[in-house]
């Protein structure tokens, strides 16, 4: 069993559209225009599945080839966090459905938490439900058995309070076929509601290279945390690419 790296070949991509009953309502036209640009960029290369409870929002996307439409109730757009997480097995792709509580109960989430079961029915996905809260943006895989994550998120009491770090590690290793888990203790981005998701801080861009958020301005409020995170990353043994 192996967790996929994000750059590997994909069959399709799920996107959850904003709608008038979400927090995007005041900016709906602008954000839908942004999604239109996103779909235009992706569809020449792979299929996009657009999810939304309001079918009227599908209209502007019907001009694109390689797009499918699924009418389902959602709370918000962040399917990267509440969507399925896939692994490669000897029998093909298996998908995990983790519990989702909107980053520690910060927002409503019951519809988003239920969406993977509905998508699995539609797309005949081999889906395994996991009794653990985990967001896709909180875990970063290199495709070769290494996971990069943050303690501030995965060990936060607003996620899996009943589980120890050791128990979480054991679950992750078993589910994703991991050889190594790298825990970052430092790093944050102002305005982030996710409790320091790894995808805002450091990402694998190849199996042996990590790109990360860096700060050289000592007067910046991020400086101390990001410098400490940089020091942690330098001890991982991976090649590093600093991003300002």
| Residue 99: band (very low, low, confident or very high) from pLDDT cuts 50, 70, 90 | very high
How are beta strands 85-89 and 92-99 bridged, if at all?
antiparallel
Instruction: Read off the pLDDT of residues 17-53 as tens digits, 9 standing for 90 and up.
Output: 999 999 999 999 999 999 999 999 999 999 999 999 9
pLDDT above 70 coverage of the chain, percent = 100
Q: What is the mean pLDDT of residues 74-96?
A: 97
Q: Would you state the pLDDT for residue 45?
A: 96
Instruction: Read off the pLDDT of residues 180-197 as tens digits, 9 standing for 90 and up.
Output: 999 999 999 999 999 999
| Residue 127: band (very low, low, confident or very high) from pLDDT cuts 50, 70, 90 | very high
Instruction: Read off the pLDDT of residues 141-173 as tens digits, 9 standing for 90 and up.
Output: 999 999 999 999 999 999 999 999 999 999 999
Mean pLDDT, rounded, of the chain? 97
Q: Would you state the pLDDT for residue 140?
A: 99
- Number of folded domains that form the chain: 1
Q: What is the mean pLDDT of residues 226-238?
A: 99
Q: Would you state the pLDDT for residue 138?
A: 99
Q: What is the CATH number of the domain that holds 17?
A: 3.75.10.10
Q: Would you state the pLDDT for residue 195?
A: 98
Q: Would you state the pLDDT for residue 17?
A: 98
pLDDT above 90 coverage of the chain, percent = 100
Q: What residue numbers bound the domain in which 213 lies?
A: 2-243
Specify whether the CB–CB gap between 243 and 214 falls below 8 A.
yes
Q: Would you state the pLDDT for residue 152?
A: 98
């Amino acid at each position: 069993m192996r967790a996929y790296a994000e750059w590997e070949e994909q069959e399709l991509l799920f996107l959850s559209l904003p709608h008038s009953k979400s927090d995007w309502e005041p900016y709906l036209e602008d954000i839908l225009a942004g999604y239109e640009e996103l779909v235009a960029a992706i569809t020449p290369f792979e299929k996009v599945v657009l999810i939304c409870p309001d079918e009227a929002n599908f209209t502007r996307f019907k001009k694109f080839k390689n797009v499918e439409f699924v009418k389902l109730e959602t709370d918000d757009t962040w399917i990267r966090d509440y969507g399925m997480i896939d692994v490669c097995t000897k029998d093909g792709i298996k998908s995990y459905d983790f519990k989702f509580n909107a980053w520690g109960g910060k927002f409503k989430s019951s519809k988003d938490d239920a969406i993977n079961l509905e998508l699995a029915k539609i797309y005949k996905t081999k889906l395994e439900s996991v009794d653990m809260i985990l967001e896709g943006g909180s875990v970063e895989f290199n495709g070769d058995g290494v996971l990069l994550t943050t303690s501030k998120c995965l060990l936060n009491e607003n996620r899996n309070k009943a589980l120890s770090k050791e128990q979480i590690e054991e679950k992750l290793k078993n589910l994703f076929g991991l050889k190594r888990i790298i825990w970052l203790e430092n790093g944050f981005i102002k305005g982030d509601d996710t409790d320091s998701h790894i995808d805002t801080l450091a990402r694998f861009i190849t199996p042996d290279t990590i790109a990360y958020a860096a700060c050289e301005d000592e007067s910046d409020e991020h400086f101390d945390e990001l410098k400490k995170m940089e020091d942690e990353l330098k001890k991982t043994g991976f090649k590093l690419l600093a991003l300002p």
